[in-house]
Amino acid sequence: MQSKVESRRNDFTFAVRLPASTSNLGAGFDCFGLALQRYLSVRATVVRDTARKCNVRTSGTSESAELPRNEENLIYRAMAFAARSEGVTLPSLRLSVRNEIPLGRGLGSSAAAIVGGVKLCGLIGGIKLPDEKVLEYATRFEGHPDNVAATLFGGFVITSPKHDGSVLALKRPWPPELKVIIVSPSFRLATKLARETLPWGVTRADAVHNLQRSALFVGAVAAGRYDLLWEAMRDRLHQERRQTLVPGLAEVLELPQMEGLLGLALSGAGPSVLALAVDHFDDIASAIAGCFQRYKVRTTSQRLEVDTVGCQMLSADYADYADYAD
């Protein structure tokens, strides 16, 4: 039997902030995640005397205005999933959201929403949800652990689901001099569509290729052997098959090495492209953007720092939200 979560007062409120993320980093398909300093902030307030399950206000990117304003919102759906898993019923809620993460660009916007929803469910419901349980619920809801682990823990995270549904996650240090350049085409790409392009099976040669390079990537980052990253980020499992969905991607992945550039990869499921670099950032971003421009695809470029903290609780009166005029 489900128990009803009761609030202590009408304005019972919690707030969280979650970073964007990139995943795969080339060969580390579905196991590497890296948190980035763009954020989703969510404030959840219990409300009484309403039949609506959820009411949502958003601000931030222009795309955020397109998100559902009711219980179909991904944050609330993740909250409801965690509540069902814990055997509780959510009260009616008001969500105030500020989002800096572009939607459908391979930067973990869904993962941030899902982790935020699971965390808020535990906070609103007074349920003790350790990070391991948050990661398990978020992975079950999302379908894969790489982005959700990065947005939960911050930094560079390596993940491995177990047969019992739990997820192993190992956070590793990320060198501050290793910068991330993101070049995003003007169109969106649904992760579901990007995953549907992948075959059910792969050859042994391709599997071994990615195993070797993903192991090399971890060792190269740890040892400061950045000269090895160019080869360590070469992938045979997903990027080539997604090139038909991202005009210009093939040309990006064929760019020659240039000063400051250490490696190139599709960011998550795409369509954004990730470059790891130590300098000459503008030149690198321009070279990548030029590959898309040949297909008349507009792009935006940004150099992002790595978020090392992950999901944070905020003060309930934190001002960086879409506020209600009550």
Ordered domains of the chain (ranges, CATH): 3-172 (3.30.230.10), 179-304 (3.30.70.890)
* 77-98 per-position pLDDT tens digit: 999 999 999 999 999 999 999 9
* Predicted TM-score of the model (pTM): 0.92
> Which helix H or strand E contains 312, and what residues bound it?
strand 312-314
User: pLDDT band for position 1 (50/70/90)?
Assistant: very low
Give, to the nearest 10 degrees, the angle between helix 74-86 and helix 109-125: 50
The Cα–Cα gap between 59 and 57 comes to 7
* 266-276 per-position pLDDT tens digit: 999 999 999 99
Question: What is the predicted pLDDT for the residue at 326?
Answer: 36
Task: Kindly provide the residue ranges of all beta strands, DSSP E only, lying in 78-122, ordered along the sequence.
Answer: 88-89, 93-99
| Residue 7 predicted with pLDDT over 90 | no
* 123-135 per-position pLDDT tens digit: 998 999 999 999 9
Helix (H, G, I), strand (E, B) or coil at 168: strand
Question: What is the predicted pLDDT for the residue at 321?
Answer: 53
Average pLDDT over the chain, rounded to an integer = 91
The Cα–Cα gap between 16 and 44 comes to 9
Closest C-alpha among 182, 160, 157 to residue 310: 157
Question: Could you please report the per-residue DSSP string of 23-89?
Answer: E-TTT-TTTEEEEEEEEEEEEEEE--S-S-SEEEEEEESGGGGGS-SSTTSHHHHHHHHHHHHHTEE
Phi, psi of 29 (to 5 degrees): -60, 125
The Cα–Cα gap between 253 and 257 comes to 10
More confident position, 59 or 312:
312
| Residue 151 predicted with pLDDT over 50 | yes
Amino acid type, 68 = P
